[in-house]
Amino acid sequence: MDKEGTENTEQRPELDDIIKKHAYWAAAAGLIPIPVADAAAVSAIQLDMLKGLCEYFEIDYTKEAGKSMVSSLVSASLASLLARAGASAVKSIPVVGTTIGITSMSLMSGATTYALGQVFAKHFESGGTFASFNADKMKAYYKEKIEEGKEAIQKMKDKYGNFGKKKKAADDELNAAKKMKELKKLLKKDLISKKEYEKMRAKILKDLMKG
């Protein structure tokens, strides 16, 4: 148990699996070679992880509350958010920019997802709820877990392979990014409803995660 009365997730295989699985997916999503599309994919994966943690701890989950909880923590750790945004933006620079951006975004996407999972697990384990979550109090722990997450992602990379660098995986990621861009256009033109957009985007991401 830690000082907050929380058990390390390493001692709880199912909980650890939820966090590491989504961190791995987020690292793979960070490889999507189109700015902004990767951020949308990573955000969806993080919310899915939060939903999984809520189910594990038997806490009622809503997407709106989940977004608010994630946003409050990321906003409280602005430097991390800017680092991710910079990595995504640099992908728009031809050749070198794309290579550097993909590498850094993949690592940060996986590490921040891992850190978010650890923060929420710690909070829920100690009896916390959505209403009682205090992002400022968790900021230092979140940053600490980002560094731990970088190491965890590297270990997963060494164990399972180089996140989607095989041609088929790379093609799947690119196709998913293109589909999400097209969906966004349809939504802006009012050709599909918000509900239809969310449903189709979720299917695209689900298919991508299955590989």
Please state the domain extents for the chain. Answer: 9-162
User: Which residues of the chain have a pLDDT value below 50?
Assistant: 1-7, 80-82, 84-103, 165-167
Tokens 């910079």 belong to residue: 86
| pTM greater than 0.85 (yes/no) | no
Amino acid residing at 129? T
List, for residues 135-187, the tens digit of each pLDDT value: 999 989 999 999 999 999 888 877 766 555 444 555 566 677 677 778 888 88
Give 63's contacts (C-beta < 8 A, 6+ positions apart): 47
The helix or strand, by DSSP H or E, that contains position 65, with its residue range, turns out to be helix 63-76
End-to-end CA distance of the chain: 36
> Residue 5: helix, strand or coil by DSSP?
coil
Distance CA 22, CA 113 (A): 7
Query: What is the rounded CA–CA span in Å between residue 145 and residue 139?
Result: 10
The reported pLDDT for the residue numbered 209 is 59
The rounded distance, in Å, linking the Cα atoms of 120 and 143 is: 13
